[in-house]
Structure 1
Amino acid sequence: MWTARLSLSEAGRCTFSLPTCRTEHEANARLEVLAELAGRLLAAGQIVLGMPLLEQAAARDGSALRDVRLALDQLCRGEARPRPSGETTFAEFAELVVSGRLAEQYPLHVKPLRRPEQYRHKLNHVLDVLGPVPLSRLTLDHADRAIAMLPGHLEASSRQGIAKVIHRILALATYPARIIANNPLPRGWVPKADNNKAKSSLYPDEDRRLMAAVNIPLAYRIYYGFLIREGMRADEAGRLEPSDLDLERGAIVLDENKTDDPRAWALSPDVVRALRVYFAMCPPKQRVFSRPSGLPLPGRDGAKSFRDHLRCAGVERPELFETTESRLNIRLHDTRATFITIKLANGRTETWISDRTGHRSSNQIHNYKRAARKVAELGLGDFAPLDEAIPELRGKGRAVGGARLSGGAEAGAAGEGRFLGAAPPGQAPASADVPAASAAEHEAAADGAALGPRWATPAPSAAADQPEVIEMVSVSSARPASARKYRQKDRSIASRRRKRQRFSWSPPVSPPRVAPVWPNGAPSASLLEK
């Protein structure tokens, strides 16, 4: 192992190990670096405090050596001071957040990161500047400098994502960690991203071409077909477990997702049939979708593979593969855009779509309506049934019934007679609610026939041609309650007529004079006069 010796004035003559140097040329080059750094520390009067940095510079290489240089720069400018015990740097607290230890300390206020590797990737861009700075002395200038030093090739959305991570870590350091009193980043510090770029989506004929490409592994095609027909996020589908699917009833339950909003919906019948056949051929293990090697399929990171597979399938539309100032090339995440666009063009409602995609706002779905109108005007139609679009699965839906998704022998069992439209045992509808099925239909069901549309009804049976049975009932002479009701109504009408007659006026008419009839003859005149 090579060593270097330097005379450092008040620090004396010091020896440094050079574990990364294998040749004399490399050792001499590292000695020159150490001499340069020591000279800067001596000029700034920080040689005593800078000794640990010199030791790290002698032992590190690559990006780690760059971090040491930045820390030494801060020390020479007076920004870095010997920190007291218990003072936490930005890098240390960021590791506390990413590792999940902060969520363990404050479970009511901090949720564990679902994808900590994405946080680490974004933090690697700024740890050179912010990492060694104590949180109590981190200022707005430090954060601005970290953003200004980001690589120039990063898109505005990537810069925004990195800024959000910085802001989030400092917010957690304020509360609940209470390491600093206030967040040094003001409101509005996170830069705005330009999200007006047009996004690409596939047409139904391009989807059919992709599904029919037998030179692409079947595991990828069933994965792409599922995403395009169900609208899930790629990372959500990549984490699906066999217990999340109920192929006996054709349903899916998604409890863990990006928005923490559990949702469930009925799968498309053709997707159910395709998954039954596929799982009979390749029973699932820990994940529903996996590579032929057994590793999980990529989530959002599968954009390059997706574009390569599109090219292998003969899809050559230029806008799918070009990134310009106004358009993005197609990504695996754009299978959601494909789903929304085609389903809107074929008359599906926003509620039906949001049940599957998890969108909470109608404005998010509204962004796809212009592209959907274009697809509708062109008459491009809907996606082909998945079990018919993939050649390896075509025509095998009848051979595989509604097998349970358990990953074992049950997944490959055939002809069990379980179908998407069938009711579970013990819950069959009454005969009065459902028309009687024909013998041919019972025979098709026993053979595991392919599923039809959910709104399909059985054909009329032979029983419909039989004469109608008329029930004979006896008629009694007693008046029913309805007769009494009408009689009371007639009485009320007659009463109202009498009232109208009582209050009506007509000129008086003298009654006719009628001679009285006396039983014993006419009375005498005197008696009449009296």
Structure 2
Amino acid sequence: MSALRAAAGEYLAMRRALGFKLTTQGRHLMSFVRFCEERGADRVTADLAIEWATRTSRGSGNEVYQARRLDVVRIFARHLQALDPATEVPPDDVLTRRYLRIPPYLYSPQEIAALMSAAHALRPALRAATWRTLIGLLAVTGMRQGEACRLRRDDVDLEAGTLLIADTKFGKSRLVFLHPTAITALRAYEHARDQAFPEPEAATFLMNSRGGPLDGHNIQHTFAVLVAAAGIQPPPGRRAPRLHDLRHVFTVATMLDWYRDGGNVQARLPLLSTWLGHVDPKSTYWYLQAVPELLALAAGRLEQQADRQAVP
């Protein structure tokens, strides 16, 4: 094992012990270590870091993505420099950090119904039931797909009508409250699941056709099949619809309802941020400028306020 690989392993273990998950960051850091080893380098240099960050495996020319890759090395290099002064910390102004979030695909209610209908055709029957439940759950709760896949049986309280989202993306937990129709659907799934696997190996609420947990990395392949079967096509020049976009659908629908009922949307947004598990309310406010209909409603609300203030 190279000294650089050993240092990276110790660094990742230390940060994970402090509560950082480092799922993507850890993968990127070890990729950089392999990059250095292939070139016979035994320490971090700025040139190596920049070369690795800009030579992505998929050939992405997105500088924001490349800057994030470089950040992984930069943080590691700062740690390593205290142990090895010869370590070079890559400069932080090499690549742009201007983040451009890609607009989500907003499924219509008819498209969500078509997705669930396509899921019904999957085989075996439990796989179909799991996918219908997953799609419906994401659409009506706004959960992240990973949160739904990790949801444990003990986290689901259908008597109280709540889901406990534990150890989330940012290490926090939250409660999600269920509509009675959602409770009914989850009870039906629970019954079908327990009939198929009375003594399953997995402790997760949602299971695959073999009685194991859903693989969050592979579900996109099945979802792509369902999107095609449902006849859903993105507008020209836009990326393919994702399972994660169901979370956006929930968020936008909630905000649209708030505007239409005349309530104070700004006062409610922190509540929505908490519900979604956003660590920063800016992630929720982004929808106001990303979705034209929301932007129009927000602008209309501001014009009404301005008109009232202008009346003598």
TM over 0.5, shorter chain: yes
Does the CA-based 8 Å contact 2:45-2:88 persist in structure 1? no
Which one of the candidate residues 277, 281, 299 is aligned to 1:362?
281
Tell me: CA distance 1:369–1:215, structure 2 relative to 1, closer, same or farther (3 Å).
same
Query: SS of the residue aligned with 1:367?
Result: helix
Larger radius of gyration: 1
Counterpart code for 1:111:
G
Query: SS of the residue aligned with 2:134?
Result: helix
Counterpart code for 2:36:
V
Q: Please say if 1:291 is aligned against 2:208.
A: yes
Q: 2:301 maps to what in 1?
A: none
Counterpart code for 1:163:
L
Q: 2:49 maps to what in 1?
A: 143
Q: 2:181 maps to what in 1?
A: 270
Q: 2:307 maps to what in 1?
A: none
Q: Please say if 1:96 is aligned against 2:10.
A: yes
Query: SS of the residue aligned with 1:368?
Result: helix
* Percent sequence identity over aligned pairs: 21
Q: 1:115 maps to what in 2?
A: 23
- Render the CA deviation track for 1:497-525: whole Å, top value 9, x for unaligned: xxxxxxxxxxxxxxxxxxxxxxxxxxxxx
Report the aligned-residue RMSD: 3.2
Q: 1:218 maps to what in 2?
A: 129
The Cα of 1:287 is off from its aligned counterpart by 0.8
Tell me: CA distance 1:103–1:375, structure 2 relative to 1, closer, same or farther (3 Å).
closer
- Render the CA deviation track for 1:277-322: whole Å, top value 9, x for unaligned: 210121374111121122322326533322221222x232333xx6
Query: SS of the residue aligned with 1:144?
Result: helix
The Cα of 1:250 is off from its aligned counterpart by 0.7
Does the CA-based 8 Å contact 2:46-2:88 persist in structure 1? no
The Cα of 1:263 is off from its aligned counterpart by 1.6
Q: Distance in 1 between matches of 2:2 and 2:55?
A: 23
Q: 1:245 maps to what in 2?
A: 156
- Render the CA deviation track for 1:399-426: whole Å, top value 9, x for unaligned: xxxxxxxxxxxxxxxxxxxxxxxxxxxx
Q: Distance in 2 between matches of 1:307 and 1:375?
A: 28
Does the CA-based 8 Å contact 1:238-1:298 persist in structure 2? yes
Unaligned runs of 5+ in 2: 123-127, 195-199, 260-267, 297-312
Does the CA-based 8 Å contact 1:88-1:134 persist in structure 2? yes
The Cα of 1:193 is off from its aligned counterpart by 5.7
Tell me: CA distance 1:300–1:332, structure 2 relative to 1, closer, same or farther (3 Å).
farther
Q: Distance in 1 between matches of 2:221 and 2:165?
A: 27
Q: Distance in 1 between matches of 2:276 and 2:134?
A: 16
Tell me: CA distance 1:253–1:196, structure 2 relative to 1, closer, same or farther (3 Å).
closer
Quick one: higher RCO (CA 8 Å, sep 6+), 1 or 2? 2
Counterpart code for 1:160:
A
Query: SS of the residue aligned with 1:265?
Result: strand
The Cα of 1:230 is off from its aligned counterpart by 0.8
Q: Distance in 2 between matches of 1:196 and 1:145?
A: 25
- Render the CA deviation track for 1:326-369: whole Å, top value 9, x for unaligned: x4322222221111112212228424422321124433222223
Q: 2:310 maps to what in 1?
A: none
Q: Distance in 2 between matches of 1:207 and 1:375?
A: 20
Q: 2:106 maps to what in 1?
A: 201
Does the CA-based 8 Å contact 1:163-1:191 persist in structure 2? no
Does the CA-based 8 Å contact 1:199-1:329 persist in structure 2? no
Q: 1:280 maps to what in 2?
A: 191
* 1:45-444 equivalences in 2 (<5 Å): 89-98=3-12, 100=13, 102-103=14-15, 107=17, 110-111=18-19, 113=21, 115=23, 119-120=26-27, 123-124=30-31, 127-129=34-36, 132-135=40-43, 138-151=44-57, 153-156=59-62, 157-174=64-81, 178-180=83-85, 184-189=89-94, 191-192=96-97, 194-213=99-118, 214-216=120-122, 217-283=128-194, 285-299=202-216, 302-312=219-229, 314-319=230-235, 324=237, 327-347=238-258, 349-369=268-288, 374=293
TM-score, normalised relative to structure 2: 0.74
Number of matched pairs: 274
The Cα of 1:202 is off from its aligned counterpart by 1.1
Tell me: CA distance 1:303–1:201, structure 2 relative to 1, closer, same or farther (3 Å).
farther
